[in-house]
Amino acid sequence: MTPTTISADAAGTWQLGDLTVNRLGFGAMRLTGSAAFDLGVPSDRDRSIQVLRRAIDLGVNHIDTAAFYFSPTRSANEMISSALAPYPDDLVIATKVGPGRDASGGWLPPARPDQLRGQVEENLRQLGRDHLDLVNFRRMPILASVSEHVGALAELRDAGLVRHIGISGVDRTHLDEARAIAPVVCVQNRFGVGASQNEHDLLAACGEMGIAFVPFFAVAGRGAERGRAAVAEDDATLTVASAHGVSPAQVRLAWTLQQGPHVLAIPGTGDPDHLRQNVAAAALRLSPDELARLSSPTDA
């Protein structure tokens, strides 16, 4: 099998509530250049449109986005709508609420529970949909509790604007808190090679509960969330990549997917070649020894 024939379904599937998705998905943040995260310049718009369409051709049916993914010249939701509407029947679009930005791109205080409806409606308008498949509440560190925000999303679910609820940037306490209010279909947290024992523990707990775990920055590494490029690849990752004749990024994706059948991956790119490589990682299988060499949790 050549890389061009590998489909995202090579990694298997998972149920997000009543929605079936291939475990290898696509994250839309990088299409805009992610000015809010200082990750670079926007991708060429026409090329980004083609990347989104090619992702669907390669079997991707889970796209992660947010209304606050925008730069002065790009909007992730607008590009998704332009590229893919009318949407394929099996396409699941997950978005996030909680953080907000003003028109110039500056961060606003985290949304209050009563402001989440406006953020949901903003995503609906931009995506051209009458409901959102999955909405993750992205907890910012300033918020100790998620109860009121999850309660607000549960009301929007009851109103038919939201189909399923997820949470992001949380620990086990927040997960238990949210599940006491409404069904939670996924947890979206930072996770990747070098993850801490606490991060591994939360991933395992999600598996025991039948909840999807959706890592972000699994390829870029820890520095990405703080606006820095990923650190230099460690020797173990480079050795495994060389043995398989693949890139370190593909190794990181394969390692992530092999952490459990409930683990999804949402790598993002505006480059067609990188997209193909990311999807090809769905079929990459690492040996138990290779997984062990890469796993060594940190103490953080």
Task: Look up residue 296 and give its DSSP letter.
Answer: -
Q: Which residues pair with 166 in a beta bridge?
A: 136, 186
pLDDT at 73 (0 to 100):
85
Token code pair at residue 90: 């099996």
Asked, for residue 214, whether it belongs to a domain, the answer is yes
CATH of the domain at 66: 3.20.20.100
pLDDT at 71 (0 to 100):
86
Mean pLDDT confidence for 27-54 = 79
Asked, for residue 133, whether it belongs to a domain, the answer is yes
Number of domains in the chain: 1
Asked, for residue 63, whether it belongs to a domain, the answer is yes
Asked, for residue 300, whether it belongs to a domain, the answer is no
Residue owning tokens 């990549």: 241
- The pTM of the full predicted model, rounded to 2 decimals, is 0.92
Asked, for residue 108, whether it belongs to a domain, the answer is yes
Q: Rounded distance, CA 294 to CA 237, Å?
A: 7
Q: Rounded distance, CA 152 to CA 117, Å?
A: 8
At 294, phi and psi to the nearest 5? -90, -15
Between 166-180, 205-219, 220-234, 279-293, the lowest mean confidence (pLDDT) is in 220-234
Number of other residues whose CB lies within 10 A of the CB of residue 70: 24
Q: Rounded distance, CA 27 to CA 169, Å?
A: 16
pLDDT at 48 (0 to 100):
94
Domain that holds residue 41: 16-232+262-285
Q: Rounded distance, CA 145 to CA 147, Å?
A: 6
Mean pLDDT, rounded, of the chain = 91
Q: Rounded distance, CA 22 to CA 14, Å?
A: 6
For residue 94, the surrounding DSSP H or E stretch is: strand 92-97
pLDDT at 44 (0 to 100):
87
Asked, for residue 2, whether it belongs to a domain, the answer is no
Angle at 296 between CA 288 and CA 244, to 5 degrees: 45
Number of H helices, E strands in the chain: 10, 9
Between 144-158, 174-188, 230-244, the lowest mean confidence (pLDDT) is in 230-244
Asked, for residue 116, whether it belongs to a domain, the answer is yes
pLDDT at 223 (0 to 100):
46
Residue 72 has pLDDT above 90, yes or no: no
Give the 3-state secondary structure of residue 74. coil
pLDDT at 297 (0 to 100):
57
Between 149-163, 174-188, 219-233, the lowest mean confidence (pLDDT) is in 219-233
Residue owning tokens 């999303």: 153
pLDDT at 226 (0 to 100):
44
Q: Which residues pair with 94 in a beta bridge?
A: 64, 134
> Which amino acid belongs to residue 215?
P
- Helices 235-244 and 288-295 cross at an angle (nearest 10°) of 160
Mean pLDDT confidence for 192-198 = 93
% of the chain surpassing 90 pLDDT: 82
pLDDT at 229 (0 to 100):
46
Catalytic residues: 69
pLDDT in tens, 211-262: 999 999 888 654 444 444 445 578 899 999 999 999 999 999 999 999 999 9
Between 25-39, 45-59, 90-104, 129-143, the lowest mean confidence (pLDDT) is in 25-39
Asked, for residue 87, whether it belongs to a domain, the answer is yes
pLDDT in tens, 86-122: 999 999 999 999 999 998 889 999 999 999 999 999 9
Residue owning tokens 């699994």: 218
